[in-house]
Structure 1
Amino acid sequence: MTMLLLVRHGLTAMTGPVLAGWTPGVPLDERGRAQVTAVAARLAPLPLAAIVTSPLERCAETAGAIAAGHAVEVDTDERFGEVRYGDWTGRPLKELAEEPLWRVVQTHPSAARFPGEDGESLAAAQHRAVTAVRDWNARIAADHGPDAVYAVCSHGDIIKAVVADALGVHLDQFQRIQVDPASITAIRYTETRPFVVRVNDTGGDVTGLVPEPSGDDTGGNGLGPGDAVPGGGA
């Protein structure tokens, strides 16, 4: 029952008007630094077993802020890096919205492959990110036990793709999921299925995300750790 906390990086000067992608040298701006300071304070009480980040600077800065409150080193995993947008990288979103591919990205993203020699499909990006999550879940559980909590700092489209997989919905529905800068998304992985606990959480207490020490989060009702509580568990 590993708990994964997906943290989107804070704001940069390019967030919003421009598709930054893998553009090098895109750090957090003043707003983003304030955001990650706040999210780091929120996560400080949690016993994080590991902190993993995309290699891109904005995520590495976010992970570094979180790590300052924990006695763990930051691991980098390229599989959590941004979608490789190819020739779209660095272009204004307003301009990209006029491209025929834009509508495909919005309505049928599983069929979208970004142009250019290094352009990636959204399906491939989801596959690499979900594979990374599964690998890290196994590693964290083996090293720290089944109740461990860890954080991954990544990007909006990557986090949305992981959430879609955890929800069991087709990638074509992932645009319905919102992931704001410096938000926390929590997914609990069990032997039976993932449980999406929180999505796009930008404020409030997070200590309730820590699993019960016994590994049974069902309140002593006799159900297994991967069982859903009838009636929603109220």
Structure 2
Amino acid sequence: MSGRRLIVEADGGSRGNPGAAAYGAVVRAADTGEVLAEVAEAIGVTTNNVAEYRGVLAGLRAARQIDPDAVVEARLDSKLVVEQMSGRWKIKNQDLQPLALEVRRVFPPGRVTYTWVPRAQNAHADTLVNQALDGKPIGVASVVPPAPTSVEEGAAVDDHAGEVEPAEPTSPANRLAAWSPELGTPTTLLIVRHGQTALTAARRFSGGGVDGPELDEVGRGQAARAAELLAASGAIAVVASPMVRTRQTAEAVAARLGVSVRVDDDWRECHFGDWEGRTLAEITERYPEGVASWYGSTATAPPGGESLDDVARRVSVARDKLLARYPGQTVVVVTHSMPMRVLTRIALGAPPATLFRLLPAPGSVTEIQHYADGTIALPRFGQRP
């Protein structure tokens, strides 16, 4: 155990509460004050408190990348987070409970202390938050590891040893998937898109504001094949969107696994509002400016619907709840195209425009692995059964 002392400065905020939100975090060496890592990311529409928790979570994960045996002081200007994480205040908000569990999992008990500081003393993290809100996120931690004192020490900390040229500094985003056994057992989410419906076949918008339609004959076959594909997955639970098509698909998978289906409203499809049931050509003809704005910004919502930022917020919360509830286990999530795209984009650290380039087929399976230190791996995307 190295016992290296690190300081995490973290912040989060939303423009509106809830509103467009982001977090920022800085990791420093406690003895010199040197900045070792920075991370900042926009997280869609959520509350200040959720953003604050996401900030400290990102900061601790970056600190763990630098030294998994470190002793950390987290300096925050959120009295709520400091008091709750110190155990002096209860966490009653259901959106914050799974995030708090994730924060506690990053380091063993007793290795992190929480200190409240005035906002003026947290200016670096606050600046990162505003940069992310202004469209200039860092995205993932840019970590500067301690300088090796010998060739052997350098080899020990270099996750990319043996490559022709030195790799970029270690971070959750650039770890090699082949090294994943060293990171422990991940929580694996097997994301299944529901089988085909009549609206799917007709390429009509079919959102989360309407319960139907049901699977058609092709869709029922896709659901059955997805169930066979996942039969040996070892999944211990199946969670589904409340839509008819997702529940039907989930029931086929759950029956094959011998488990029951749990419905979670946060996994529903994007609510397309007035665009519901129309083709893209029909929508473009009737709402040309709205469609252009929708493709240009994930903050734009269809008339009477929700934005893709809204979808990202609720799907991220649903994901975090599963990670907290099933650590180190495998869970099947039966959902829709947009939630699957959102989780894939987040896993890849890709820009928002990526959402419109990902096209998961009906009945397909995407696998996302979440490790305790924040590493995310994507072993497969859109596998057709």
Calculate the TM-score normalised by the size of structure 2: 0.49
Decide whether aligned partners of structure 1 residues 160 and 17 sit closer, same or farther in structure 2, where only a CA change above 3 A counts.
same
Amino acid at match of 1:13: A
Indicate whether 1:174 and 2:355 are aligned: yes
- Aligned to 1:174, what secondary structure does the other structure show? helix
Larger fraction in strand: 2
Indicate whether 1:13 and 2:195 are aligned: no
Amino acid at match of 2:298: S
Indicate whether 1:113 and 2:298 are aligned: no
Aligned pairs for 1:32-181 within 5 A: 32-98=219-285, 99=287, 100-106=289-295, 108-116=296-304, 119-141=305-327, 146=328, 148-181=329-362
Q: Percent identity?
A: 33
Q: How many pairs does the alignment contain? A: 195
The structural deviation recorded for 1:173 is 2.1
- Aligned to 1:97, what secondary structure does the other structure show? helix
Amino acid at match of 1:113: A
- Aligned to 1:110, what secondary structure does the other structure show? coil
Decide whether aligned partners of structure 1 residues 70 and 109 sit closer, same or farther in structure 2, where only a CA change above 3 A counts.
same
The equivalent of 2:36 in structure 1 is none
The structural deviation recorded for 1:69 is 1.0
Provide the rounded CA distance (Å) in 1 between the counterparts of 2:345 and 2:233: 25
Preserved contact between residue 164 and residue 173 of structure 1 (Cα < 8 Å): yes
Which digits, 9 at most, give the CA deviation of each residue in 1:70-113, with x for residues without a partner?
A: 2211100100001011111122332013222222333x241321
Preserved contact between residue 51 and residue 67 of structure 1 (Cα < 8 Å): yes
Indicate whether 1:193 and 2:378 are aligned: no
Provide the rounded CA distance (Å) in 2 between the counterparts of 1:9 and 1:68: 15
**Over 4 Å off, 4+ runs:** none
Provide the rounded CA distance (Å) in 1 between the counterparts of 2:347 and 2:363: 20
Q: Mean alpha-carbon deviation: is it higher for 17-26 or for 187-196?
A: 17-26
- Aligned to 1:186, what secondary structure does the other structure show? strand
Preserved contact between residue 17 and residue 94 of structure 1 (Cα < 8 Å): no
Provide the rounded CA distance (Å) in 1 between the counterparts of 2:319 and 2:301: 22
Provide the rounded CA distance (Å) in 1 between the counterparts of 2:204 and 2:355: 20
Provide the rounded CA distance (Å) in 2 between the counterparts of 1:177 and 1:18: 17
Calculate the TM-score normalised by the size of structure 1: 0.79
Mark the runs of 5 or more structure 2 residues left unpaired by the alignment: 1-185
- Aligned to 1:177, what secondary structure does the other structure show? coil
The structural deviation recorded for 1:177 is 1.5
The equivalent of 1:213 in structure 2 is none
Provide the rounded CA distance (Å) in 2 between the counterparts of 1:171 and 1:113: 14
Amino acid at match of 1:79: D
Preserved contact between residue 365 and residue 384 of structure 2 (Cα < 8 Å): yes
Preserved contact between residue 294 and residue 302 of structure 2 (Cα < 8 Å): no
Preserved contact between residue 197 and residue 245 of structure 2 (Cα < 8 Å): yes
CA RMSD of aligned residues (A): 1.3
Provide the rounded CA distance (Å) in 1 between the counterparts of 2:255 and 2:333: 15
Task: Return the index of the structure with the highest Cα Rg.
Answer: 2
Mark the runs of 5 or more structure 1 residues left unpaired by the alignment: 204-234
The structural deviation recorded for 1:17 is 2.9
